[in-house]
Structure 1
Amino acid sequence: MKRPLELADYYTWKVPAQPALSPDGCRVAYVVYQSQHKANEDNASLWLLGADGKSVPHRLTRGNTADNSPRWSPDGRHLAFISSRADESEVVAAVTGPEEDPDWPARDKPRPQLWVFDLERGGEPRQLTRTREGVTDFDWCPDGSRLVFAARDPELAQLPYLRSVRGKGDFKDKGPLVLDRTQHKADQSGYLDEVRTHLFIVDAASRAVTRLTGGPCDETAPRWSPDGRWIAFLSNRTGDADNNLRSDIWAVSPDGAAALRLTFGDAGAADVRWSPDSRRLAFVSSLEPENLYRLRHLLCIDLEAAEPVTDLAAHVGRGWLTIGGTVPEPAVGDPANHARVYPVPERTTPYRVLTAGLDRPVIGPPVWLDPESLLVPLGDRGQTRLARVRVGGTAELVFPREDRLCTVRHQGLCAAGDRIVVVLGRAETGADLFSLAPSDLEEPGADDRALRLTRLNDELLADRLTSSYVRVAFAGAGGHSLEGLVALPPGFDPASGRAPLIVNLHGGPMAYDAPEFRFDVQYWAGRGYLVLMVNYRGSTSYGEAFCTAIRGDWGPREHDDVMRGVDALVDRGWADPERLYCTGFSQGGIMTNWAVGHTDRFRAAASEHGMWDYVAAFGTDDCHRWWQDDLGMPWHNWEGYRKMSPMVAVDRIRTPLLITAGEVDWRCPLSQAEQLYVSLKKRGVPTRLVIYQGERHDIDKPRRAIDRIRRILEWFAVYGGIPLDDASAPGYPDPNPCP
């Protein structure tokens, strides 16, 4: 007899990502993520499978390592990837540091390096690089003899400081951090130094490395043109990269003798891809880089429109009428507009916007099907779907159908030969790889012709009940259309009685809840809760106006949308109005803090990694450019920051609140959770603060992920929720039981 998911199943669940088709379209390499119980780490392993679905998946890598970013050599014989596994002894002996740096590399955990399989010969992968700081991205040259890669590249003069702050070499403790950058911290990275990322070329046979770029700017995301003449990359060369998001597309010849500039600062670029004939580049841009509410579109430029650059390393701060950066005093008029002091380019880029007619955001990188057409993932009504886009200007959504509750996963698309492989997620079964032919997208019915290649979780699901999702539509205050997804408890029948409801609020806010498997949502539904996920105003995938509606005024609109979703489920007879609960992570935590200050309808709530006082957050988080564009500077706009902060309603909060935070979260800093916690304690509101030590904004340890799921349900159970009786996987002990 099937039973609901248990917490221990978290360690069994598998998630595929990053499919890569061989050049002939016959084989697909992909990554499978799975949590490891004993190591308390998330593992990423490489797998190989025939694209016709007739072969058994073959596991290429094992062990507690992170193996990702698989990419085929052009002849299909070799598969390169990035791995954090221990260095090969042969490479350690062959690749040594300079005499001036006897401690290189720092003797701590291995850095991500380039490795390559010879799939014709078989055997273990061969290590290609041993860089000080690790490899971040790479690409093959068309003849397969070399690879270009990006890596942080500290100068010799910077090494003593790096050893000091890391407590390495002669330093027995960690020295002081000395900061000069405006963007002085970043979540996941910590405090930022002055080390830049540059491009290098490694010979696939000899491992010999040649520097390609250098200087005061970062060069990232290298992509080698199919004809071998150019290596495109991204770089912000305004000279003030900490105060804007103007990454442009540049290109350099493989010998470093020539360089080009392809975009000119009017459209921040990402996810650059060459056309098969090397004549064009497609890329993703919002057209207004610092305004995060704008839609991300797919753009295309012609290589022939590029501008030659004589000295790439010295080409910094050139081509701009103004660089911007410093906010002038005093503020006049709109404080946000006053603070939008961004670079003004001398010229514009002759790009074509290929998705302008869809009013939907591009979610990930495109893939070229031929020199005139591409596939690109777009957000559409809470789903990620594929759009077929032609360089001539037409674009249409083609897969999956709108009425199918499934979604294309992030980093889940590739194409080669006559095949397309996509990672498609469903709420009930999780994500798997599916294969199609480009011709399948020409006519209706592509969903039915998609060939399922993997069944990663079928063994577990044979013995487990999972929740199905339904899409619920309702009207907003102004008559605008709203939607939400509802996870139903297995076997739920409204005729047998209402169920307690958990409102689960997504982060962002520029994001959306999609119909895909989420362990926390499935687990809560399996315990008997309805789970409501509302795509409130500010969410993407419903058009630019819907997303921009909350710009500079977070709180009231989103909250009203969410509560109307709650009312819709109560009116349907599904949700028990006496047992309503609320939780959310990041922006969802912020909205939870706002909700408990504006309604008493929730019996209890859990705010995860949220924020409380935006004035106090400014400069302690890593989002100063966002605040600058949204609200201006706090000293120019005290009232705007104040009215958006959940803290403004502290005197109205009576709802028991569980608060969680990461100790070194730089996106929503711990201090925000502490201020909220002490404020509620002083007012006598039942509250508890849980700080995950060493944790940043995301939950990156499996046991902590299980612990948060457990704690939320235990908190709700104290205030009328369903008691939790699952001892299959422990979280962490408490000094006292829940109050």
Structure 2
Amino acid sequence: MTTKRRITAEDLLKIVTVEEPRWSPEGDLLAFVRVEMDAVKNLYRRSIWMWSSDWDGPRQFTSGTHQDTHPLFSPDGKQLAFVSTRGDKPQIFLIPVHGGEAQQLTRAPHGATNPAWSPDGASIAYLSALNAQEREAEGQGDFPPPPPQTELEIEQRKLQKEHDEAKRIDPRVYDGLPFRAGTAFLGDRYKHIYIVDVDNKESKPRRLTDGDADYGRPAWSPDGASIWSNRTRRPTHDRFDKSDLVNVILDSGDVQVFQREGYISAHPTPSPDGQWIACITSPEDHPYGSIPRLTLMKPNGSSYRDLNLALDRSIVAAGMTPQFTWAADSASLYFVAESRGDAPVMRVDIESGSYETLLDGRQQILENDVALDGRMACVLCTPESLPELYAATLEGWDVVQITEFNREFLSEVDFVETEEISYTAPDGTEIQGWVLHPPDFDLKKKWPLAVNIHGGPHAMWGPSVPSMWPEWQLHAARGYVVFYCNPRGSDGYGEAFRKMALNAWGEADMHDVLTGVDEVVNRGYIDTDRMAVTGGSYGGFMTTWILGHDQRFAAAVSQRGVYYLTSFYGTSDIPRLIEGEFGVMAIDDPEMMWKYSPLAYAREIHTPLMILHSELDFRVPIAEAEQLYTALKRLDREVQLVRYPREGHELSRSGEPLHRVDRLNRMVDWFDKYCK
């Protein structure tokens, strides 16, 4: 019998993930994206793969030397469109399904994304960004400039570029919010919808939209006469939160706007019969605290109906795209819900509004696509397995595992099982949590405890969260009992539970966490002198809030946390989070902002604290970490600040691979320093 080894932080580099499953029209082929990390070049590689039930396994379709994403079959199933970074900018390529060279379809100066085939397969709609001057020049046929044809033209353009850079005057001027996001400042370019003829290589792309507003992913009407999308609402330029549905009529060029009073609307998806538009809407007054609605409306903007209110559960999103799909007969919608730490597959009948659970259990379904014959392809993760691709019949759930990219790695390591627990908070609220034990766990011994707290504050954790699986397993492998929970405010337990922490961050939700710690301690095997706590984003807020109100922990690591609500409000790319969570603008109630800021309790923090933060985090800017670090250093506390260059808020999930490994090692080494 082979002895398995314990997981290390470096094992993160071996994990392969799967994204974007897409069926062919006939359901005989399935395309998907394989994601792996290149430790030598410190980057990610994305390649497109194919699978057929007639094959002995999935086959690689593109090389993976570039970032190949967004696979999408043509309506006749003969071609595959995809986005690739085979040049300076991402562009759309076409490749024959049964072999051949990829041909570049777009040459958008600033890149092209989100391809969508027209129903007849003659055109592809996509998104590309331009500013007002570029759009005007494009309309006059002067943009983009033609490529240089001679050596002299190449040299002239090179000299002109050098001259422009030497004389560069480039202040950033803004008149809207946000002015930065992700890891970059936002420019004056807005995403617009284009269509391009697939067969006529000489035809130029046609831009369908105009103005200083961003458009979302295009979705064709079944008759091919129009394209649905969502558009940021003008004139506020609130590029994240306020958007309405639009329908672009191809013949006339008219852009019809559909604004549901009091709601933000996005992700329109026409039904196959063209009778309904499914979309996601959120109440404007509580866009963060409320459960997003899966909403139906008629194509003329009438008959709004919310389908998931009775269910009282959110729709799982992959990235920023909610996971819902029309059935082929337009009679129902499939979606993945967030529910009590798991993600069941549901079906809702649009006539009766009744629900049916098709797949339940301890799993997270990350992305999915439904074929015309009713089979679902899904990226599924369980407590015992990393994300892999599966195909399943939705009637009876006959499952076929398609990929086993992580099988060899999982066979080598001694990963541990996850135990679910339930307990009651001081005010009687039921809280769900989970516990992991070290591989060599012995009830007769005393063990250190590592407490993890999620962000959001409206996120939901469960035993199958792939982004946290390596971290929890690493802490257990290093000898810690691991505890995490979903405190009030978390998604997955209904809208009332989600709103329970509004206007009171750090009060009852802190006791939800600490009561769970007591529950584990009362089992008798925790050494209460060797307990550590960590969390990211809102979890970073909660980590430092706990340190300022409770002295039980021997070590703490706070990651990308909010520490002073007023400065967060003024520097974050989501200032409306504070307005939604506390019901005020920060400038109107500075006393409340200070009361609920961990920085206000810095004098009470005595636990050794490591602060991890990314230098390009524009969701929670690094000034939050700098303020807390400065205060604690001036108070002569034991504190260390770790800054990650080039990284943003998503460091732990999609940062540079070696930075992600470094983060894991630093965290557990800090715990060991004080808890071992």
Q: Does 1:425 align with 2:421?
A: no
The equivalent of 2:323 in structure 1 is: 365
Using the TM superposition, give the Cα deviation of residue 428 of structure 1 relative to its aligned residue in structure 2, in angstroms: 2.1
User: For residues 489 and 168 of structure 1, what CA distance do their matches in structure 2 show?
Assistant: 59
Quick one: percent identity of the two aligned structures?
A: 31
Match of 1:29 in 2: 31
State the partner residue of 1:288: 284
User: What code does the residue aligned with 2:621 have?
Assistant: P
Summarize the alignment of residues 586-665 of structure 1 with structure 2, pairs less than 5 Å apart: 586-631=537-582, 632-665=584-617
Kindly state the Cα deviation for residue 281 of structure 1 after the two structures are TM-superposed.
1.0
What residue is the counterpart of 1:329 in the other structure? none
User: What runs of 5+ residues in structure 1 fail to find an aligned partner?
Assistant: 87-109, 307-348, 441-445, 722-739
- Alignment of 1:46 with 2:23, yes or no, is no
> 1:367 is matched by which residue type in structure 2?
T
Report the Cα distance in structure 1 between the residues aligned to 2:25 and 2:180, rounded to whole angstroms.
37
CA displacement 1:503-526 (0-9 Å, x = unmatched): 111111111112224211221212
SS in 1 for 2:545: helix
- Which SS does the other structure have where 1:70 is aligned? strand
- Give the Cα separation in 2 of the matches to 1:26 and 1:498: 55
**Residue pairs, 1:517-556, within 5 angstroms:** 517=466, 518-556=469-507
Amino acid at match of 1:424: L
Give distance in 2, aligned partners of 1:186 and 1:562: 33
Q: Is the 8 A contact 1:425 1:515 kept in 2?
A: no
SS of 2:164's equivalent in the other structure is: coil
Counterpart contact for 1:355–1:395, Cα < 8 Å: no
Rounded to whole Å, the distance in 1 between the matches of 2:634 and 2:54 is 61
Distance 1:498 1:66 in 2: 48
Structure 1 residues 413-462: Cα deviation after superposition (integer angstroms, max 9, x where no partner): 4433331111111122111122222322xxxxx3xx32222212001112
Give the deviation of 1:246 after TM superposition.
3.0
Contact persistence 1:146–1:201 (CA under 8 A): yes
Instruction: Quote the offset at 1:173 in angstroms.
Output: 7.7
Q: Is the 8 A contact 2:22 2:30 kept in 1?
A: yes
What is the CA distance between 1:682 and its match in structure 2? 1.3
Which residue number corresponds to residue 505 of structure 1?
453
Q: Is this contact kept in 1: 2:568–2:575, CA < 8 A? A: no
> Structure 1 pair 538/168, CA: closer, same or farther in 2 (3 Å)?
farther
Q: Distance in 1 between matches of 2:535 and 2:63?
A: 35
Q: What is the TM-score of this pair, normalised by structure 2?
A: 0.90
- Measured on the aligned residues, the alpha-carbon RMSD in Å equals 2.2
Q: Residue 238 of structure 2 aligns to a residue in which SS?
A: helix
SS of 1:568's equivalent? helix
Alpha-carbon deviation of 1:573? 2.7
Structure-2 change in CA distance of 1:592 and 1:53 (3 Å): farther
Shift of residue 219, structure 1, vs aligned partner: 2.0
52-61 or 590-599, larger mean C-alpha shift: 52-61
2:92 to 114, 120, 123: 114
- CA distance in structure 2 between the partners assigned to 1:639 and 1:646 by the alignment: 13
Native 8 Å contact 1:67 1:84 kept in 2: yes
Structure 2 residue identity aligned to 1:498: K
- Whichever residue aligns with residue 667 of structure 1, its letter is R
* Change beyond 3 A, Cα 1:425–1:568: same
* AA aligned opposite 1:400: L
Aligned-partner Cα distance in 2 for 1:189–1:423: 27
Say whether 1:412 aligns with 2:368.
Answer: yes
How far apart, CA to CA, are the structure 1 residues paired with 2:167 and 2:355? 58
- Residue correspondence of structure 1 range 111-190 to structure 2 within 5 A: 111-120=89-98, 122-156=99-133, 170-172=164-166, 175-190=169-184
Q: Any gaps of 5 or more consecutive residues in structure 2?
A: 138-156, 317-321
Using the TM superposition, give the Cα deviation of residue 256 of structure 1 relative to its aligned residue in structure 2, in angstroms.
4.3
Aligned length: 637
Instruction: Tell me the distance in 1 between the aligned counterparts of 2:31 and 2:545.
Output: 44
Residues 544 and 17 of structure 1: CA distance in aligned 2, closer, same or farther (over 3 Å): same
1:115 Cα deviation from its structure 2 partner: 1.3
The answer as to 2:188 corresponding to 1:194 is: yes
In the TM superposition, residue 70 of structure 1 has moved relative to its aligned partner by 1.3
TM-superposed CA distance for 1:488, in Å, is: 2.6
- The farther-off stretch of 2-11 and 499-508 is 2-11
Distance 1:365 1:201 in 2: 25
Instruction: Quote the Cα distance in structure 2 between the aligned partners of 1:587 and 1:529.
Output: 23
Aligned counterpart in structure 2 of residue 216 of structure 1, from 209, 212, 219: 212
SS in 2 for 1:384: coil
Cα distance in structure 1, aligned partners of 2:105 and 2:326? 29
Report deviation, 1:626: 1.9
Query: Partners in 1 of 2:461 and 2:51 — Cα distance?
Result: 30
CA 1:293–1:22 in 2, change beyond 3 Å: closer, same or farther? same
Deviations 1:112-169 (Å, cap 9, x if unpaired)?
Answer: 111122113x123211111121123221001111100111112436999xx9xxx976
Structure 1 residues 215 and 558 mapped into 2: Cα distance closer, same or farther (>3 Å)?
Answer: same
Aligned to 1:375: 334
8 Å CA contact 1:234–1:248 kept in 2: the answer is yes
**Distance in 2 between residues matched to 1:29 and 1:635, nearest whole Å:** 50
Matches of 2:95 and 2:134 in 1, distance apart? 36
CA distance in 2 between counterparts of 1:459 and 1:400 reads 27
Q: CA deviation at 1:265?
A: 4.3
Deviations along 1:453-498, one digit per CA (max 9) or x if unpaired, are 221200111211112111110001111110112223224342x423
**Shift in alpha-carbon separation, 1:224–1:574, aligned structure 2, 3 A:** farther
1:453 aligns with one of 402, 418, 438: 402
Counterpart for residue 320 of structure 1 = none
- Structure 1 residue 217: deviation in Å? 2.3
For residue 563 of structure 1, report the CA deviation from its aligned partner.
0.5
Secondary structure of 1:528's aligned partner: coil
Q: Which moved more, 1:705-714 or 1:192-201?
A: 192-201
- Letter of the structure 1 residue corresponding to residue 541 of structure 2: I
| 1:488 and 2:490 aligned | no
Letter in 1 for 2:323: P
Q: In 1, distance between residues paired with 2:211 and 2:479?
A: 58
Paired AA for residue 304 in structure 2:
Y
